[in-house]
Amino acid sequence: MPLLYVRKEVFVWLEQGKKKVDVRKGKGRRGDFAVFQCGPHILRLKIMRRESGKLNEIVRSDNYRQVIPSAACLEDAIEYFQNLYVTCGGIFTAYHFE
C-alpha cells in the first residue's frame, strides 16, 4: 500500500473526486490501495490500474484534466510536473482511481 505525500491542492482534488489519476516519478509501488497524506489528513483510494512510461506517454490530451484538474491545456499539465521535478526524463507511473 503506497503512502504518497501530496500538496493541499492535490489532496482537495482527490477528496472531491476531480483528480482520477495520480502520476509519480519512478516505478509503480505494490498494493491495491494508495494512501495520500497532507499534514494530518489521510485519504485512502482503491487503485484500479497502473500505467508506466515516459511523462508524455502518461499525461496525454485525453486525460490531462484527470491528472491536473486546474490545467487549461496539456502544456499546463506538463509544466506542473516540470515545476515539481528537477528533470522529467525517465519512467513515471500513473495510478488510476475510481
What's the CATH number where 65 sits? 2.30.130.30
List pLDDT tens digits, range 48-74. Answer: 999 999 999 999 999 999 999 999 999
Amino acid residing at 57:
E
Q: pTM score, two decimals?
A: 0.90
Domain range for residue 42? 3-93
How many independent structural domains does the chain possess? 1
**Is 85 a member of any domain?**
yes
pLDDT of residue 53: 96
**Is 66 a member of any domain?**
yes
**Is 47 a member of any domain?**
yes
Averaged pLDDT of the chain: 94
**Is 63 a member of any domain?**
yes
* Nearest-10 Cα torsion for 3, 41, 16, 14: -20
Mean pLDDT of 27-40: 93
Q: Contact, 74 vs 61, CB < 8 A? A: yes
**Is 98 a member of any domain?**
no
**Is 7 a member of any domain?**
yes
